[in-house]
Amino acid sequence: MRIAPWLVAGLALGLSAQAQTPDKKLTSRDMNRMIAEMWLWEAEMRKPDHISNRAEELRPRRRDEPLRYLNITDEEVRQVQLVSLKYLPRAMVNISPVVTNCPCEEGPDCSAQVYVVASTDVNSKGLQLSRLRNQWMVGVVQQWWIRRDAMHAPKADSPFLERYRYARALHELYAEFPRCVGDLVPAKSTASTPKAEPKK
């Protein structure tokens, strides 16, 4: 198996970590354990069935299908705007069409989703909302991605301990990614999610 370059660099830089942080000296045993853990996490992430692949597949973004039969109502727009204010800058907001077929990770009560984008003169920021029990809210997948996006990888020349802590935090975060549990029953249709009439 190929040794990840950052592991080699980590070993070299890690040996100097003792001098950089005398209050947190690392023994050879500590170093070996941490390097072995980082190696294991790297190997896990390379597996095709690693949860990171599913997380990336569900990364919040605009979807345009399958469209809900009835698009967003005025009351829903007010709900979406109210929730968005807590996460997005006060700016021009664009709301995507309402789509159905929530991923099972959102749970059986999810009946629809929208993607909201707030644009300023400098940049744009997006937020995915899920409709759960007739209320628009930030779903569990978007909540996870907010936490993931808040993590910033340390630079290659950062102290070994800093890079180890980042790798461990990332490993732990992937372990907390929402999972589909049991046999999920789709959310019931409501007045705002009428079914299309059958074709004649």
Is residue 195, in this structure, part of any structural domain at all?
no
Within 13 A of 115's CA, how many CA atoms are on the CB side? 17
Residue 97 and residue 164 share a domain: no
Sign of CA dihedral 86, 89, 92, 93: negative
User: Which span out of 81-95, 96-110, 186-200 was modeled with the highest average pLDDT?
Assistant: 96-110
Instruction: Please write the tens of the pLDDT for every residue from 24-37.
Output: 678 889 999 999 99
Within 13 A of 192's CA, how many CA atoms are on the CB side? 20
Q: Is this model's pTM higher than 0.85 or not? A: no
Is residue 180, in this structure, part of any structural domain at all?
no
Residue 71 and residue 121 share a domain: yes
Rounded-to-integer distance, Cα 88 and Cα 182, Å: 34
**What domain range is 108 assigned to?**
60-138
Residue 35 and residue 12 share a domain: yes
Describe the crossing of helices 160-175 and 28-45 by its angle, rounded to 10 degrees: 40
Is residue 193, in this structure, part of any structural domain at all?
no
pLDDT exceeds 50 at position 195: no
Rounded-to-integer distance, Cα 140 and Cα 76, Å: 20
Higher confidence at residue 74 or residue 6?
74
Domain count, the chain: 2
Within 13 A of 39's CA, how many CA atoms are on the CB side? 14
pLDDT of residue 162: 95
Higher confidence at residue 148 or residue 11?
148
Residue type, 120: T
Instruction: Please write the tens of the pLDDT for every residue from 87-98.
Output: 998 877 899 999
pLDDT exceeds 80 at position 135: yes
Residue 130 and residue 69 share a domain: yes
Is residue 189, in this structure, part of any structural domain at all?
no
The phi, psi pair for 77, rounded to 5°, reads: -60, -45
Instruction: Please write the tens of the pLDDT for every residue from 35-75.
Output: 999 999 999 999 999 999 999 999 999 999 999 999 999 99
Residue 73 and residue 42 share a domain: no
Higher confidence at residue 3 or residue 164?
164
Is residue 198, in this structure, part of any structural domain at all?
no
pLDDT of residue 183: 53
Rounded-to-integer distance, Cα 99 and Cα 178, Å: 20
